[in-house]
Amino acid sequence: MPQVGTFPVTRDEIAGLPVSELAARYGTPVYVYDAAKIRERVADLQRFDHIRYAQKACSNLAILDLVRREKVLVDAVSAGEVHRALAAGYSLHGNPPPVVYTADIFDRESLELVVQRDIHVNAGSIDMIDQLGTRAPGRSVTLRINPGFGHGHSQKTNTGGEQSKHGIWHAELDECLRQIDRHGMAVSGIHMHIGSGTDLEHLGQVCGALEATVAKIGRTVTSISAGGGLPVPYHARQSYVDLEEYYRLWNATRERLQEELGHKISLEIEPGRYLVAESGFLITEIRAVKRQGGNTFYLLDAGFNNLARPILYGAYHPMSIANATGRPLQSVVVGGPLCESGDIFTQEEGGFVCQRSLPSAGVGDLLILECAGAYGFVMASNYNSKPLAAEVLICDGQAYLARARQTNEDLVRGESIPG
């Protein structure tokens, strides 16, 4: 199991390449991913029968291709994510299904796609079962069950309990099975995902809830999924989940179910953050240093248009300054370029601005927002008409432009003026 990382406040290189060269070559802001780190994280989870990547965390085709080559399956939450998986070389059919559509609704496009291409569905609502069963009776599906409890790093990432819209409510299981029967369908697996960035205590509780659900459904079940949710440390105070213990809990559950049902049950895990968070770095340039009363602000060329986690969840990201070894530390507030006061990377949930101890720096210095690989680029926007940043993958010491920076033409593509 990986040990808790330390987070140095200066960084000269990423995956062996100088930060200054990456910035000069690709411009800033730029997302840089270290392929070796992703491979390392995939290797950590090899004891599970199948790893299914929750691509919502970072769905660049180069990343999908990388995990596909590591034999990682993929989850898709939209028609767009199915198309990404196909574009990255995944096939749709196999056992287990390489691509699974997991959601709480079908929009019309995704229902059509799932019906036409016979894509495996992990249903999060009874309406989904009814809609799929009406169009394509007789299919096998897996069910995403909301066990009535959940936990996440923020209330906004807790996906269990009655405050959450996710999954089929555990007490609705009988009604759900009636729909399944009505359409001649079968339940081949059960899935529970209680939240993102949770802990072993809560993750462990899922095992019991899942066992009780499978007991009700019975012999058609051949696979179980522990969902995602594995945390990564963003701060020296935080740690990883004990993966040995986590696997032990799930394997014991699987073994009890095998005993009860009398056949093999495959055990799947569905991480997003764990595989990619630590691989990602957002390189930015400091463009202004301001003193406002008691606060010194470093203002960057990246804002919440590039990395939204701090403004959305008060999320903490480690930060470093390139080539700043030996400089004195200074307490600063780090913000972006957007015309909005909330465009601050050093904030706590609720929008409270706080300070960070970083090497003293000036205009032209590069500031790196770290652990930004998960829910970073994918949650970016064009707010303030800022182009989406470039994405670069470093593989075996070579940098590869995995997505070009948007242009100003891209920003107005599809828009027109009447008349």
Q: Is the dihedral of CA 147, 151, 155, 157 positive or negative?
A: negative
User: Does 102 help bind ligand LLP (rule: CB under 6 A)?
Assistant: yes
Shorter beta-carbon distance to ligand LLP: residue 102 or 305: 102
Among 37, 183, 254, 273, binds ligand LLP (CB under 6 A): 273
Q: Give the C-alpha separation, 52 to 268, whole Å.
A: 7
- What's the token pair of residue 384? 């303030």
68 lies in the binding site for ligand LLP (CB under 6 A): no
What is the C-alpha to C-alpha distance for residues 102 and 60, in angstroms, rounded to an integer? 19
How many other CB atoms are found less than 10 A from the CB of residue 340? 14
Q: Which of 176, 339, 354, 395 is catalytic?
A: 339
Residues 6+ apart with CB under 8 A from 417: none
Per CB under 6 A, contacts with ligand LLP among 202-261 are 227-230
**Residue 270 interacts with ligand LLP (CB under 6 A): yes or no:** yes
Q: Is 133 in the site for ligand LLP (CB under 6 A)?
A: no
In the bound state with ligand LLP, the residue whose beta carbon lies nearer, of 123 and 393, is: 123
Shortest gap between Cβ of 144 and ligand LLP (angstroms)?
7
Sequence letter at residue 173 = L
Residue with tokens 């060329």: 301
What is the DSSP annotation of 254-276?
Answer: HHHHHHHHTS--EEEE--SHHHH
Contact status: 104 vs ligand LLP (CB under 6 A):
no
- Rule CB under 6 A: choose which of 41, 193, 356, 386 binds ligand LLP: 193
Q: Is 183 in the site for ligand LLP (CB under 6 A)?
A: no
CA separation, residue 144 to residues 100, 141, 165, 215 (Å): 12, 10, 12, 15
Stretch that binds ligand LLP, among 54-62, 113-121, 296-304, 388-396 (CB under 6 A): 54-62
Tokens, residue 135: 């169009």
Considering only residues 347-386, where is the footprint of ligand LLP by CB under 6 A?
Answer: 374-375
**Contact 153/130 with Cβ under 8 angstroms?**
no
Q: Which span sits near ligand LLP by CB under 6 A: 204-212, 272-280, 293-301, 355-363?
A: 272-280
Q: Does 157 bind ligand LLP (CB under 6 A)?
A: yes
Of residues 348, 367, 362, the one with CA closest to residue 291: 362
Nearer to ligand LLP, 281 or 313 (CB): 313
Active site residue 354: no
Between 272 and 359, name the residue whose CB sits nearer to ligand LLP: 272
Residue 194: closest CA among 223, 234, 225, 239: 225
Which residues make up the interface to ligand LLP (CB under 6 A)? Answer: 54, 56-57, 102, 157, 159, 193, 196-197, 227-230, 270-274, 309, 313, 374-375
Any idea which residues carry the catalytic annotation? Answer: 339
